Amino acid sequence: MNANGFGTQVKRGVIEFCVLSMLNRREHYGFELVQELSRIDGLLTSEGTIYPLLSRLRRAGLVSTEWRESTSGPPRKYYRLTPEGEHTLQDYRRQWTLIRDAVNTLVSD
Summarize as ranges the residues that interact with a copy of itself (CB under 8 A).
Answer: 1-3, 6-14, 16-18, 21-22, 24-25, 40-43, 56, 60, 88, 91-93, 95-96, 98-107, 109
C-alpha to C-alpha distances, 82 to 8, 38, 53, 58, 102, nearest whole angstrom: 28, 25, 16, 9, 30
CA distance 88 to 62: 8
Write down the least CB distance from residue 89 to a copy of itself, Å: 8
Residue 45: CB atoms within 10 Å: 19
Partner touching 80 among DNA, a copy of itself, none, CB below 5 to 8 Å by kind = none
Given 44, 98, 99, 102, the residue binding DNA (CB under 7 A):
44
Write down the least CB distance from residue 99 to DNA, Å: 11
Given 9, 90, 95, 97, the residue binding DNA (CB under 7 A):
9
86 lies in the binding site for DNA (CB under 7 A): no
CA distance 36 to 26: 13
SS3 content of the chain, % helix, strand, coil (to 5): 65, 15, 20
Q: Which is nearer to a copy of itself, 70 or 108 (CB)?
A: 108
